[in-house]
Amino acid sequence: MKSKAELVDDLNHLMAEEVEAFLRYFQLRYRLRGTDWLAAESFFDKAMDETLEHAQEIAGKIRSLGHTPKLEIKLSLAGGPIKLQEALAEALEFEQQALDAYKDFLPRVEGDTMLEDFIRKQIATETEHVQEITMLLE
Amino acid sequence: METWKEFEANELTHSAAHHLLAIDELGAKYGGWARVSDIAKELAITRGSVSINLRALKKRGYVVTDEHRMVKLSVKGLEIVQAVQSKKAAFKAFLVEVLNVSEHQADIDSCKVEHLISHETTERLAEFVEQFKHSQPSHTR
C-alpha cells in the first residue's frame, strides 16, 4: 500500500491524462473534415464530456484525501484538417494509455475500498471506450 | 553522411529528440525496450502525449513497437540518438573547455542545440576544441 502522498501524486497524474484527453478531443473535433464529420461530432462531444467528468471525479478523490489537485500538463496542439479515421486512431492511442494507467494504478490501491472501487469502475469505462473506438476503426 | 542528410531533411524537433534519447536510456537495461509509462515519467509528460508522439516517430521509422506497447529504437532511430549525443558532447566541450562555461550551464545550453547544429559544424567544433586544448599551456588544462 502506498503512502497518501504517493497516492495523491498518482491521482494527479491520472487527472492530467484525463484533462489532456479532453483537450485533445476538443482540438480533434474542430480539425475534423470529410463526409462523415457531422455524424462524428457527437462522438467527440460525448468523449469531451466524459473525459472532463473523469478528471472532475479524480479531483474529488484528491480532495477527499485532504489534498488539492495539482495539474501539470505540457501541451501544444496544432495540426491541419483531419479525417475521421485518423482522428479516431489518435484517440485510440491516448484512450489506451489512460486504460493502461488505471490498470497500473489498481494494485497500488488494494485495501482502500473507496479508491479500489473507483479505479475498477474507471477501468471498465476506459475498456469500453477502447473497444468502441477499435470497433469504429475496423 | 546519408544519415545526417536525412536527419536534417526530417527536421527532428527538440521534443522528438528527447523521446528518442529517453527510449535509448530507459531501454539500456531491457534489451532496448522501454515502457510508455517510464518514458512519460522521464520526460515529465502524460502517457497520452508520449503515445501520440511515438506514433509520429513510428511513422517516420525511428521506433518500433510490440504487441505489449513496448517501444524500441529502430536502426534509424539509434543513428539519430548517436548523432544527437555526439553533437551535444561537441558543443558542451566547446562551452566548457573554450568558453569556460560551468558544467551545469554547458549541459543546459548544449541540450538546446543538440538536435539543430549540422554535422559539419559538430566536426569543426570538435576539431577546434582539440586544437585549443593542445595550444594551452599544460598548467591551464
The model's pLDDT over B17-48, given as tens digits with 9 standing for 90+, comes to 999 999 999 999 899 999 999 999 999 999 99
CA distance B114 to B134: 25
Q: What is the dihedral of CA A100, A106, A109, A113, to 10 degrees?
A: 130
Residues of chain B with CATH 1.10.60: 79-140
Inform me whether the C-beta atom of residue A76 falls under 8 Å from chain B C-beta atoms.
Answer: no
Q: What is the least distance, in Å, from the CA of A33 to any CA of chain B? A: 20
Inform me whether the C-beta atom of residue A138 falls under 8 Å from chain B C-beta atoms.
Answer: no
Phi, psi dihedrals of residue A79, rounded to the nearest 5°:
120, 150
Q: Tell me which residue of B115, B1, B26, B24 sits closest to B73, measured CA to CA.
A: B24
Interface touch B46/A97, C-beta < 8 Å: yes
Residue-wise pLDDT tens digits, A82-114: 999 999 999 999 999 999 999 999 999 988 898
Write out chain A residues lying below 8 Å of B51, CB-based. 93-94, 96-97
Residues of chain B with CATH 1.10.10.10: 2-78
Q: What confidence tier does B9 reach under pLDDT thresholds 50, 70, 90?
A: low
Inform me whether the C-beta atom of residue A72 falls under 8 Å from chain B C-beta atoms.
Answer: yes
ipTM more than 0.90?
A: no
Q: What is the least distance, in Å, from the CA of A74 to any CA of chain B? A: 6
Grid coordinates given for B92: 558542451
Residue B8, pLDDT above cutoff 70: no
Helices (H), A70-112: 84-105
Q: B107: Cβ–Cβ under 8 A, 6 or more apart, which residues? A: B92
pLDDT at B117: 82
Among A58, A93, A133, the residue to mutate for chain B (most B Cβ within 10 A): A93
Interface touch B37/A101, C-beta < 8 Å: yes
The whole model's pTM is what?
0.82
* Chain Cα centroid distance, residue A130: 11
pLDDT at A13: 96
| Residues of B (95-124) whose Cβ lies below 8 Å from A | none
Residue B112, pLDDT above cutoff 90: no
Per-residue pLDDT averaged across B73-77, rounded?
Answer: 95
Q: What angle do CA B119, B120, B124 make, to 5 degrees?
A: 115
Protein fold of B2-78: Arc Repressor Mutant, subunit A (1.10.10)
Domains defined along chain A, listed by start: 4-137 (1.20.1260.10)
Residue B7, pLDDT above cutoff 80: no
Protein fold of B79-140: Diphtheria Toxin Repressor; domain 2 (1.10.60)
